[in-house]
Amino acid sequence: MAVLTAVLLFAAALAAWTYRFRLTERTVVFAAISRAVAVGALLLLLFDPGMLARFHTPRPLVLVDNSVSMHAAGGSIDSARALGASLGDTTTFGELVPGEPGGRSELDGPIRGALGAGRPVVVVTDGEIADATLLPPDLLAQITVRRIDRRVDDDVALTRVTAPARATAGDTVTFEVELTASGTVPDTSRVVIRDGSQVLAAGTARFDGRRHARVRLSVRIPTGVTGERWIDVVRSGEPDAEPDDDLRQVRMAVTPTPGVVVLAASPDWDARFLYRTLREVVESPVRGYVQLEPGRWRRMDDLTPVAAADVAAAAARADLLAVRGDTVRWRQVGRARLLWAPSVTTGDWYLTPAGASPIMGAFAGLDPDSLPPAVAVAAVPVPSGGWVGMHARLARRGDGIGVLAGRDGPAGRTVIFGVDGLYRWAFRGGASDQAWRTLIADAAAWLLGSPDQAGARAQVVDAVTQRGRPVRFRWAATGAPTPLGITLEGPGAERIDSLRFDGAGEASLALPVGKYQYQLDGGGRGSLAVEPFSDELVPAPPTLERRDAEFTPTAPRRSLRDMLWLFALAVAGFGSEWMIRRKLGLI
């Protein structure tokens, strides 16, 4: 304001000085006024002191928390909306999409956007803010927080369910269920696992006076059940405060044969550790068969006899076939293969990474010389277009020979091991054991990552997504991601949408609760579900405290050069003065 006053006074003084000897004439007075206006406008545009975007005290901008926790049992969304409307102009945050409650409340972005308006900011919430501890103090100092605490009622929630995504018909799979109690803690709670209307298993979780309880349930998959199954994990018994946290869903693909088959044609320690490690690092069901006598096979888990024809059938249908022993008859069997024949050149062979390869992560941050040596090796031929993962040197001398390689051919991917005694890595434990596990996990991931035969250009990341969170898809085709059309059939009408992938190759869709079948443009289909459960349904301690703003944010300033009428005023002033001066004969 001081700059504006000084400019106007200077312009008026300059105009008065210019016409100081003829100011008694009315026409000259108009010329002086025109000059003062023109010079004042020109100086304001030249120095551009700016001006406040407002000249009155604005109403506060109120951010109302519209996340799932505000709508849950004991939530206070109606009270929050009423309070917000009484405090100022309201908007919402914590939403999945406008109007749809989100499964995670974050304040950093909404606060920064609100403060940019130069208005007092008030946050109305229940205090359950995910990023409250990460908010910079200077942002918190500019906001007022009005907290409406959530009422905690008696409730038992199924907070976590762990189960395999794939299973084999006839196998027994394990479900691990975690329950959390709010309010009064019960003694026990019953959990039921169902496939449609069929009860597969049931059990009782005991709290023993604690807030959390766990129960492990074993489910035997019926022999005749195959295909995609939607399994419901339900808390049964008396109704509690929040019904939406009493159901969790699991999508399980049941196959007639296991996804990963291990054949120990030459049973030894390497075969045993290969089978055990694959079961630990691969999500697909793993079945192992051991040949204790020529032509006679048994299951590796319980030594049940198995016909040779059944072993061959399982190997032929396997997504990954891992063979330890004679590999000749299995070189073209299965969709992908890990072939590990016995080696014959004995000695202390030390293994080192052979450069960039899918298994190089096994040696990350590790001194290869600290690993136990292999007891025998065999040179592995490297096919055209393949890769070599490990070299071996006898007693750390001489040139290394390739002992692990991979290739991608018409019959699928294959990894060949030419080294014996890797079980010693697992026996030693520590970093050596981690290197062994990473080696097998990376090899299996590369083998199972063969291009999708169905031609799907994208895959859903999580088959089941919590309410209030986006359903994520990952680009699975070769080349840079491009927008991809998708058609979904689920609750309500058919929906046609587009997947737009980010730099990391991920895209997301916001969907309401329900089960969906989707079809991708160009091929690829599948199913997914958005379950009623959300982590925000379970009461959590407030992380954002009540507070008053320490200072009001400064209103933004607007450049005078954005005001086109000020340019017009300068032109009009100089033009008017020129016309008057010409009339007076001063030009």
The interaxial angle of helices 2-18 and 26-47, nearest 10 deg, is 140
Using CA atoms, how far apart are residues 511 and 216, in angstroms rounded to an integer? 31
Using CA atoms, how far apart are residues 302 and 64, in angstroms rounded to an integer? 59
Per-residue model confidence (pLDDT) at position 554: 60
Using CA atoms, how far apart are residues 338 and 336, in angstroms rounded to an integer? 7
- DSSP H helices, 430-519, are 430-448
Fold type of domain 155-255: Immunoglobulin-like (2.60.40)
Residues 6+ apart with CB under 8 A from 149: 126, 127, 542
Per-residue model confidence (pLDDT) at position 274: 95
Per-residue model confidence (pLDDT) at position 455: 55
**Strand 212-220 relative to strand 172-182: parallel, antiparallel, unpaired?**
antiparallel
How far, in Å, are 15, 95, 120 from residue 110 at the CA level?
Answer: 50, 11, 13
Instruction: Label each residue of 45-64 as H, E or C.
Output: HHHCCCEECCCCCCCCEEEE
How far, in Å, are 17, 205, 317, 535 from residue 129 at the CA level?
Answer: 65, 30, 49, 12
Using CA atoms, how far apart are residues 97 and 87, in angstroms rounded to an integer? 24
Count other Cβ atoms within 10 Å, centred on residue 502. 10
Using CA atoms, how far apart are residues 557 and 492, in angstroms rounded to an integer? 49
Using CA atoms, how far apart are residues 399 and 392, in angstroms rounded to an integer? 8
Are the C-beta atoms of 379 and 402 separated by less than 8 Å? yes
Which amino acid, 369? D
Alpha-carbon torsion, ordered 329, 331, 337, 340, to 10 deg: 70
Is the domain spanning 458-535 CATH 2.60.40.10? The answer is yes
How far, in Å, are 51, 153, 316, 329, 389 from residue 407 at the CA level?
Answer: 69, 59, 19, 18, 11
Residues 6+ apart with CB under 8 A from 31: 19, 576, 577, 580, 581, 584
Are the C-beta atoms of 169 and 254 separated by less than 8 Å? yes
Encoding tokens for residue 509?
A: 């869709």
Q: Which helix (H) or strand (E) holds 473?
A: strand 471-475
Count other Cβ atoms within 10 Å, centred on residue 580. 20
Start-to-end CA distance of the chain, whole Å, equals 36
In the Cβ-directed half-sphere of 395, how many Cα atoms lie within 13 Å? 2
Using CA atoms, how far apart are residues 343 and 402, in angstroms rounded to an integer? 13
Instruction: Label each residue of 400-424 as H, E or C.
Output: EEEEEEEEEECCEEEEEECEECCHH
**Strand 419-420 relative to strand 374-377: parallel, antiparallel, unpaired?**
antiparallel
The interaxial angle of helices 269-281 and 430-448, nearest 10 deg, is 70
The DSSP annotation for 336-372 comes to SEEEEPPP-EEEEEEEEE-SSSTTGGGGTT--GGGSP
Where do we find the tokens 């006076």?
209
In Å, the largest CA–CA distance within the chain is 127
Residues in the chain, pLDDT under 70: 1, 50-57, 450-455, 552-558, 587
Which CATH code is given to the segment(s) 260-448? 3.40.50.880
Angle at 318 between CA 315 and CA 323, to 5 degrees: 50
How far, in Å, are 348, 466, 510 from residue 67 at the CA level?
Answer: 62, 13, 14
**CB-based burial label for 262 (10 Å; 0-12, 13-18, 19+):** buried
Are the C-beta atoms of 415 and 405 separated by less than 8 Å? yes
In the Cβ-directed half-sphere of 580, how many Cα atoms lie within 13 Å? 18
Per-residue model confidence (pLDDT) at position 251: 93
Total residues found in the chain within this entry: 587
